[in-house]
Structure 1
Amino acid sequence: MKLKNILALNALAAALMACGGGDVVLQPTNIDNSVDNSVVSGGGSGDNNPCANYALNGQTFIGSFDGNNCFYDATFVGVNKPLMADLNIPFISGVHIFESSLFVGEDVTPADIAAGTTVPRAGDGPTLTIAAGNKLAFSNPSDYVRISRGSRIIANGTSAAPIIFSGYSDLVTNTAAEDAVSLWGGIMINGNGITNNCTEAERTNGTCSVQSEGQESYYGGNDNTESSGSLRYVVVKHSGFAVVEGDELNGITFNAVGAGTTVDHVQVYNTFDDGFEFFGGAVNVSHAVLVNVRDDSLDFSDGYVGKIQYALIKHAGNNGNRCIEGDNISDKRPADAANPADWLIAPISHPVFSNLTCITSGNDNGTHGDSEGFLLRHGAEGEIYNSIVVSPAGGNECFEINSTGTVKNAEDGKITVDSTILACSETVKNAGASDLPAGSSFNTTAFFDAFSNNFRDTEAASVLDGIFTADMLMASAAAGGGAITVNMTDVSTLPENADMFLENPSHFGAVTADDDWTAGWTLGLE
């Protein structure tokens, strides 16, 4: 049966004029006009239709082209029809518009595993490839991109031609406010990496399956080296969606994603929840930009052990929570017999950060809390080097450790913060009595100061020039008048850097005027 699903473009145009923007659901018109063994979704053919297409089970599916944009209805891909074949999205000067979510690959549930289905491993599933310079628009707040275990996304843009994901009213009707969020959901990658939300037995026997946020799907495995693809020069705009309170889609969610995945030069701009959230796994990130994120810009938990170098974070004046919020066990997992009160369940979250610039705003009434710097809690370990946190006058704390498990980790030498500058009104917030293990006298300020290359001051002016690290490697002036020199740490020699991902930096913070890797492809840094 040859079925040509043609979008009624005239009706669509009229609907858009009537609604004046906002969330739009594209309704396809199905016309049965001939007979053979193929199915084509959309209009046009051959050289007249440059839209993405794929073949599956003897049928061909193709988007509908209106002379500028490509439309993909729910018969092409959607919540109830995940992509089960490789798909290349070619460059067009217009916009690729999706009526529904773009789900890639088979989602294997615990029930499927119990029935004998094997969880796909990296490369077993389909690959979504997106050409540089493309713009992908999604029609509803609950629409998002989801890459299932075993599938991959290859989205390699360039500084001159980044790949942009956003909402319909931003990219198509141009009616979205600049600070809009929740126009669509975001990107979720479900990997086969390691999470402490599974037991060692589950990881070993291939039954590890942790339910994700958003639409029910599953992630997790036993391979922290797996590859879920590549994101290069990608911008995620106006994203984030609260399914229910505590179950929210982020700009990009990395669910147990392995270190074989490339994430380099990626921005999240104006999102409702977190910018990047890591639930376990070991994916590394280089050259990240997170601007106007309403919750945490970098949020990790559940055994995440990746590395992040060169991350620029800038809070909005009236919103944003923490630059880093780090847990061993997510606060969405209550402490119980399986998740002990000290939050110390293996494998322990232990990421390494280098060259972060965190620009807080002093906001006290954001959607998700106050604008703050770095918080480690709930049993997290980790290392932070060569980084800068600043706040305006009257701003909030820029470094904090709380919860008994994390304090114990700090006392045991499992947390390092070195070659780091806090230029904030409240540089450090000390742990409270309830956060201290029995008999502990831990003091967070003393802990930070014990690292010889750290520096604390209440003035940001001599540290940053806009988003750029100040030319001098002098953090600030001491009260007595002499300049304080802060030495950098060569993170390329760290034991955790066996894969040589981290490089020896030439400056503190994320970016300098002499090497502005943000130029030409990012938003909101003026």
Structure 2
Amino acid sequence: MRKHILYKAYILILCTVVFTSCDRNDDENFPPPEYNSPEIELTDNSAELGAGQLINISASINASVALTSLRVTEGNSVIDQINYDGARGTDTYSFLFQIPTDWLGTTRDINFLITDRLNQTDTATFSVTVSEIIPQYTIEDVTIEGQTYKEINGIINFNETLTNDNLYLLDGEVSVGQSTTLTIEPGTTIYGKDASSRLDVREFGMIVADGTAEDPIVFTSFNTAPGQSGNPAHGDWSGIQINGSGQGDNSGVIKYVRIEYGGSNDDTFQIQNVGDQTVIEYVQVFKSLDNAFRVNEGNVNIRYIIATDCEDAGIRFDDMWNGHGQFWVVNSISTSNAIEGRDESNTILSNITITGVGFNDSSQGPAGNGFRIRNNAKARIYNSVVTGVDRSIRFSDGSEAFTTTGENIFSNSASFSNDEDSGTGFHSSADLFNPTDGDYDPTFNNSIASFQIENSYVGTSTVNSREAGPLSSFFENVNYIGAVPADNDWTLGWTRNIDGNIRE
């Protein structure tokens, strides 16, 4: 027994010696780890710009250990500095900087220094040559059929004002450049010369088109101009696009503006990544070939808009738009969806009126659709009415899952005289909101009873409405279903009826 214990002790000592020896050899063969230095890479390394313009670049930063700081300098001046919390090893940094006027005539190096917690660094340099801004556009007098126009082409890169004592003609795509404001006086008319004509407000550009009900600003087909055919049609020209810089962006003002006969190559009024400091109110899109309104990304809030007799969707929102909407009208959409939400957008809407061709033309039955929320989009809809369409509301392609979570809602609203489901128009994906269905939840307080609507969309109901104000600070605190009360017809004087006459 004693020999056995001694033998086990001997083996234990031997193993300890062997493993200790192995650990010592491991330390010699495997030195402490080395960490790579951080790396910073710019999307651009140089540019030639004018004083007052914007440097707009991004930096991709990667590090094998945590970052501590990013420092941006020009000469001895610190332009920006970020102190990291020590937990981040990668970052994307956006650099937006307005070039000072005293840099004119010089070349400046802007240096980006990244440091990690081991005090390892990397640098990148952006070189900017600052010169006089050369006009990239022209506004020239042209005479066509005895009528003089101011023809605009190119990229507007100086502040400009279009006055109401001239007629303007867009020749091809006309852009408003960064750090530039295009102002349009009330009562001004701008013609799209042909299918390629479009006004594009670029990122960090601004438009101030602030019309009035008495003197709206009009963008229209050249076929309506003096001496022209007088026979405008859907898609005679392209339209307007505003490109913002994201949430909180201010791209200007679009107010009391009528946009007619657009949609040749894209949506007639496209609102791309525009923020909630931008004002978009009192806008009509009339007879568009493509979508009338298209809102992508951003969080701009939109109210008092109307899409009339358009051949695609009336109002479409995509790409995670999360603004709000109130007082929207879509009338006489025959083959598409009046309002369509897609791609993880998340919105609240109130006081919407949708009247389809079945309502506006007694010779036709219900056609087109009302609301279609799809592709994981979410919409909480209140105080709205849908009539004269095929389906009044449908959720699909992932969005139907949110009807039971409270993220998709159709409430305090009315749906009647449609084609589907005995005139109610509710799709099976919206049974929870359908007063005639066994799965209906009466807390949504919807109605399938008709109420009086005249002149395509004028008329409201208070039978089952709710106050809109508590929905968010954006909403006007009205308490009725529909967009246009008979005693407050906000479309008078500046919009067109379906027949093309100005509403009076």
Shift of 1:469: 4.8
Does structure 1 retain, via aligned residues, the 8 Å contact 2:357–2:367?
A: no
Instruction: Output the CA distance in 2 between the equivalents of 1:292 and 1:354.
Output: 22
| Deviation of 1:430 (Å) | 3.2
Aligned to 2:406: 413
Aligned-residue offset at 1:523: 0.4
| Partner secondary structure for residue 293 of structure 1 | coil
Task: Give the secondary structure class of the aligned counterpart of 2:309.
Answer: strand
Q: Which has the larger radius of gyration?
A: 2
Q: 1:58 to 1:188 in 2, by over 3 A?
A: closer
235 and 225 in structure 1: CA distance in 2 versus 1, 3 angstrom threshold: same
- Secondary structure of the corresponding residue to residue 287 of structure 2: strand
Aligned match for 2:297, one of 259, 280, 287: 280
From 465, 483, 499, the counterpart of 2:454: 465
Whole-angstrom CA distance in 1 between matches of 2:443 and 2:227: 53
Measure, in 2, the Cα distance between the counterparts of 1:448 and 1:285: 31
Partner of 2:348: 352
Q: State the alpha-carbon separation in 2 of the partners of residues 390 and 128 from structure 1.
A: 40
Distance 1:59 1:98, change over 3 A: closer
Structure 1, unmatched stretches of 5+, are: 1-54, 107-124, 194-223, 243-248, 330-347, 364-368, 436-441, 474-484
Paired residue type of 1:523: R
Distance, in Å, in 1 between the alignment partners of 2:193 and 2:135 is: 29
Q: Tell me which residue corresponds to 1:293.
A: 310
- Distance of 1:259 and 1:357 partners within structure 2: 23
Shift of 1:85: 1.5
Please report the TM-score for the alignment, with normalisation by the length of structure 1. Answer: 0.63
Question: Which residue identity does 2:134 align to in structure 1?
Answer: N
Cα deviation, 1:468-513, whole Å, max 9, x if unaligned, reads 554663xxxxxxxxxxx31x2222112xx2xx22111143211122
SS of 1:325's equivalent? strand
> Is 1:86 equivalent to 2:163 in the alignment?
no
Change (3 A) 1:61 1:156: same
For 1:83 and 1:187, how far apart are their aligned partners in 2?
15
Correspondence for 2:176: 104
Say which structure, 1 or 2, has more relative contact order (CA 8 Å, 6+ apart). 1
Relative distance call for 1:472 and 1:137 in structure 2 (3 A) is closer
1:378 maps onto 2:375 in alignment: yes
| Secondary structure of residue in 1 paired with 2:346 | coil
Partner residue, 1:524? 497
- Given that 1:362 and 1:371 are in contact with CA atoms closer than 8 Å, whether structure 2 keeps it comes out as no
For 1:72 and 1:448, the matched residues in 2 are separated by 58
Q: Call closer, same or farther: CA 1:448–1:502 in 2, change over 3 Å.
A: farther
Kindly provide the CA deviation profile for residues 232-290 of structure 1, in whole angstroms up to 9, marking residues without a partner as x: 10000000023xxxxxx112001111111101110000000111111111111111111
Flag the 1:350–1:140 CA change in 2: closer, same or farther, 3 A: same
1:179-258 matched pairs, under 5 angstroms: 180-193=233-246, 224-242=247-265, 249-258=266-275
- Change beyond 3 A, Cα 1:129–1:254: same
Match in the other structure for 1:430? 427
TM-score, normalization by structure 2? 0.65
The 3 A distance-change label for structure 1 pair 354 and 389 is: same
Structure 2: gaps of 5 or more residues: 1-131, 360-365
Cross-structure match for 1:133 = 187
Cα distance in 2 for partners of 1:61, 1:174 equals 24
* Aligned CA-pair RMSD: 2.6
Calculate percent identity across the aligned residue pairs: 25
**CA offset at residue 314 of structure 1?**
0.8
Contact 1:355–1:385 (CA under 8 A) maintained in structure 2:
yes
Amino acid at match of 2:412: S
Deviations 1:215-245 (A, max 9, x none): xxxxxxxxx1111111010000000023xxx
Q: In the alignment, is residue 456 of structure 1 matched against residue 448 of structure 2?
A: yes
Q: Deviation string for 1:113-154 (max 9, x for gaps)?
A: xxxxxxxxxxxx211111110000121102111011111111
State the distance in 2 between where 1:167 and 1:398 align. 32
Please say if 1:490 is aligned against 2:490: no
SS at match of 2:469: helix
One-letter amino acid matched to 1:159: A
Q: Distance in 2 between matches of 1:282 and 1:59?
A: 31
Paired amino acid for 1:177: N
Answering whether residue 381 of structure 2 is matched by residue 309 of structure 1, we say: no
